[in-house]
Amino acid sequence: MLGYSHIADGTRMENTADGFNSSMEEKYRALAYDTTLSTLLAVLVYVLVKVSLDRIRQWRARVSVLVVGSGPVGLTAALVAVRSGKVLKLTVLDERYRSALLCRPQQIALDPRSVSFLFALGVDFDNMEGCWHNDHFFTKIGVFQEHLLSILEQKKQKVDIKIHLGTKFSEEYLRKIPGSDWPRIIVVADGSCGESCSVLGISSDYIVESCNAYGANATIERLDQRQVPTPEIRAHSLYFDLSAYGVDFFPAGRESQNSQQATVKPGFHLKIYGTFRNRYMALSCPASDSKMVRFLRHTSNSSIMKNIFHQSFNAYKTDIEPRLNDLTLHHLQCSRKLFEIMLSHRRVNAAYIEGDNVAVTIEGEAARVLNFDTGCGVNLGLRGLESLGTFIYKTAIALDQNDVFEALSAKIQHSKQVAETFRQTGLTTTMFE
């Protein structure tokens, strides 16, 4: 009995100890649970507050932007900047006065991709003098620039926009900017002859790469003709009879008519574009070493190319414009021979100016240019602007230099990609199709 009682007592004691332990455990568990919960809550509150503060900071972040050059690319860049919603102050410069800026004769052809890009920026094609053909929009460069300037004027109600035409970007201009007014972003769009990069100390080295094609250009200026938007004309698979110059008449690429294996490579591609007053022609073909191509690449007889353009123009022009004849042939100026089509693009297309804390991006023909006019040059510049909005956004919300470098690096990558894509497929879409 004693033993039992002892056991019974022991059991009771154990039960008491168990109860004590489990209630302690429960307390500990509750305490741990409370601690975890409150830590989680604190972390959650911290994250929420941080995210909210970050959001507020990002939402409020604004930068001053300076656009150098009011060509089609510079003005479009200005619209992209406004559209980014991150601009505190936008300054747009051009060394030319308004009249000189808007009187350029050339016509621009906007391809479908450029049209939708511009449409999203508020460009109203229904209210711009121009014409549509094959989903491309053709207008005069001055008309296009005037339209963009008018949109920027309207945006002045929402954003502080200053447009200074007749103002050259130079060292003197930079010196005059008060320290507090320095822009955080400079978009250089000063065209193929611009020197603004050297003002900013940016290298003017270019990478020059072949587009694996040959080309020649011609212009016909006839002041008695109309200066109205005109669709372009394209013709393909052209072969020229050069037997009068001692070159056998074989389609380009066919080296011998007798050869069983002779393969006919595609012939030349011709484009006639511009207005009736300022007509431009581009002739091109994929690189080959066919007899005809070799001959046209190396001939020193400049009348051969002139003849080709003369005959091609008369064969493919619109019915309502006059033919070129012996009396009007002097209006035609053209390349003397076929040349290799090359794309030059800047080695440095974006940079960070330390000390002044300015991010610079180079756009349009200031960044990349062809030695061959396809009549669609402006599209190449607009492609580069497709990453400008993100670049401005990222630079505006940057916390430190590393964030700015990241934004610049993405911009540089995109710029390189634009050049490479054009080199691979650009001529196909602008000339060969």
Ligand X SMILES: Cc1cc2nc3c(=O)[nH]c(=O)nc-3n(C[C@H](O)[C@H](O)[C@H](O)COP(=O)(O)OP(=O)(O)OC[C@H]3O[C@@H](n4cnc5c(N)ncnc54)[C@H](O)[C@@H]3O)c2cc1C
What is the contact surface with ligand X in residues (CB under 6 A)? 68-74, 93-96, 101, 106-109, 141, 168-169, 189-191, 194-196, 273-274, 280, 364-365, 373, 375-378, 381
Q: Residue 100 CB, nearest distance to ligand X (Å)? A: 8
Q: Residue 365 CB, nearest distance to ligand X (Å)? A: 4
Q: Residue 50 CB, nearest distance to ligand X (Å)? A: 42
Q: Cβ closer to ligand X: 86 or 190?
A: 190
- Measured on CA atoms in the order 303, 304, 305, 308, is the torsion positive or negative? positive
Q: Cβ closer to ligand X: 280 or 422?
A: 280
Q: Residue 237 CB, nearest distance to ligand X (Å)? A: 23
Burial of 124 (0-12, 13-18, 19+ CB in 10 A): exposed
Residue 183 tokens read as: 């822009």
Q: Residue 189 CB, nearest distance to ligand X (Å)? A: 5
Alpha-carbon distance 218 to 223, whole Å? 16
Q: Cβ closer to ligand X: 367 or 404?
A: 367
Alpha-carbon distance 63 to 404, whole Å? 12
Q: Cβ closer to ligand X: 186 or 304?
A: 186
Q: Residue 347 CB, nearest distance to ligand X (Å)? A: 18
Q: Residue 127 CB, nearest distance to ligand X (Å)? A: 20
Q: Residue 330 CB, nearest distance to ligand X (Å)? A: 18
Name the residue whose CB lies closest to ligand X.
71
Q: Residue 373 CB, nearest distance to ligand X (Å)? A: 5
Q: Cβ closer to ligand X: 290 or 374?
A: 374
Query: Over the range 225-262, which residues count as b (16 or more CB within 10 Å of their CB) and which as e?
Result: beeebbbbebeeebbbebeeeebeebbbbbeeeeeeee
Rounded to 10°, the helix 401-421/377-385 angle is: 150
Q: Residue 74 CB, nearest distance to ligand X (Å)? A: 5
Q: Cβ closer to ligand X: 199 or 292?
A: 199
Q: Cβ closer to ligand X: 195 or 248?
A: 195
Alpha-carbon distance 44 to 168, whole Å? 53
Q: Residue 89 CB, nearest distance to ligand X (Å)? A: 18
Count Cα neighbours of 259 within 13 Å in the Cβ-side half-sphere.
9
Q: Cβ closer to ligand X: 273 or 391?
A: 273
Q: Cβ closer to ligand X: 108 or 149?
A: 108
Q: Cβ closer to ligand X: 58 or 192?
A: 192
Q: Cβ closer to ligand X: 254 or 277?
A: 277
